[in-house]
Amino acid sequence: MSNITHVIKRSGVKVPFTPERITNAIYRAAVAVGGRDKTIAENLAKQVVKTLEDTHSQESIPTIEEIQDTVEKILIENGHAKVAKAYILYRNERALKRQERAETALRPSENIPWAKIWKILDWSVDQGVNTIAGYNRRLLNGELPELIKASEELYEIDIENAAEMIAARREELKIVIITGPSSSGKTTSTTKIGKRLERMGLKLVTLNVDHYFFNLEMHPKDEFGDYDFETPQALDLPLINEHLSALTAGKEVLIPYYDFKTGQRTDNVTPMQLHENEIILIDSLHGLYHDMTASVPVEQKFKLYLEPLLQMQDSKGKYIRWTDVRLMRRMLRDAAHRAYDPLKTLLHWHYVRSSEMRNIIPFINTTDFIISSGMPYELSVYKHRLFHQFEEWVSELKDNPLREDAFIRAQRTYQVLQEFEPLASDALIPGDSVIREFIGGSTLEV
């Protein structure tokens, strides 16, 4: 048994020492450079623990920084220079982000589509829903039908504009990439755009990149047994590019099949080939990640980004966070379609957010068009369905330092939901609304 029982986080909080975290960190760095051998990661982690034990007694508690320094040392001493570099780069990246948050909190972010935001804010002010209080007044005044109609129309205008822009480039385009962070409404938006393009004589043919996942045992896993599927390195990027290059050249390829029940992939299963007036569709979280489609020239790609860009302030003047809206969407969808406990969705969300911040959000402004899928009324729907659960989670997670991220998100969301009037019935929400993707009852064929 290790004589190290606790570590000290950067915040000064003392938490239990879990060697599995070291294994996971090393394996993640290895995955980033193409390595997939967990046994090597486990052996290296054991060396890290042994080194820490040699330099610390039970009374001497190591810090996170000391542990990370030791990981770098062991990786380099064992000849894993590429993995060490990936680990160091990731560590430096996290440090820079912490520094930037501290020093430039008031500087406008380059990762926010400001032009789009101003349009939505202007619309929100016109509709009187730029604050939760203003929205509640409209709801209590019986104006919900008009508000839902106006909100859905704004979204449909974006859908129509996106389809027209794609059609205008039909001679050069080979791929349409529809992307955005988790639960941004990609499925509904893709279906709607596809139907509009069909009326224009174009057909989107889906390349389902989910079938390119590596086998389950090759994915990083944390000490809680939670697999990280949110990173683009969870996918076989070289094989995706090989197939894209062949497809855009008019050749036939055999798409693999990934069985999510067994966590195993079978290669060379489904034939696929492009025909006249067909364009490859990639509907993926990581569609903007360069290495996913690096084999296809930029001019042959149309990149579409989705996000619920709500512009609504709470009683303290703070804007509702888009990530919290998407968290509630995913909770409802996971519970309805995957029998997944909403609490597990909350506990997993730090993986989702971390990957978004590294591999999705930084590329917002490289896209050809942005669609906002946010509806001012959706928070009332989520309050009716999730409010009491958030109340329980805030209490349960409050004093657990290992679940600090989940507690902060739960508390923040709970406080926002407190201010909303609930909406028990979804009868007024159209059957083809993007919100139906998460609450059920969609009339769209997807």
Half-sphere exposure of 204 (CA within 13 A, CB side): 26
Q: The pTM is what?
A: 0.75
Strands 253-259 and 264-272, sheet pairing: antiparallel
Q: Quick check: 24 pLDDT over 70?
A: yes
- Out of 63-72, 113-122, 212-221, 376-385, give the one with best mean pLDDT: 376-385
Q: At what angle do helices 19-32 and 64-77 cross, to 10 degrees?
A: 50
pLDDT over 70 for what percent of the chain?
A: 90
pLDDT at 98: 56
pLDDT at 104: 45
Radius of gyration of the chain (CA): 24
Cα of 56 vs its chain's centroid, Å: 39
Query: pLDDT of 325-349, one tens digit each?
Result: 999 999 999 888 777 899 999 998 9
Name the helix (H) or strand (E) containing 302: strand 301-307
CB–CB of 266/192 below 8 Å? no
Residue 63: count other Cβ atoms within 10 Å of its Cβ: 13
Q: At what angle do helices 322-338 and 378-397 cross, to 10 degrees?
A: 90
Q: How does 141-156 read in b/e, with b if 16+ C-beta sit within 10 Å?
A: eeebeebbeebbebbe
Q: Quick check: 89 pLDDT over 80?
A: no
75: which residues sit within 8 A by CB, 6+ positions away? 26, 29, 44, 81, 83, 84, 87
Q: Give just the sign of the alpha carbon dihedral 24, 411, 390, 142.
A: negative
Q: Quick check: 174 pLDDT over 70?
A: yes
Q: Quick check: 436 pLDDT over 90?
A: yes
Q: How does 324-356 read in b/e, with b if 16+ C-beta sit within 10 Å?
A: bbbbbbbbbbbbeeeeeebbebbbbbbbbbebb
Q: Give just the sign of the alpha carbon dihedral 293, 294, 299, 304.
A: positive
Report all structural domains of the chain as residue ranges with CATH numbers, in order of start.
6-103 (no CATH), 114-439 (3.40.50.300)
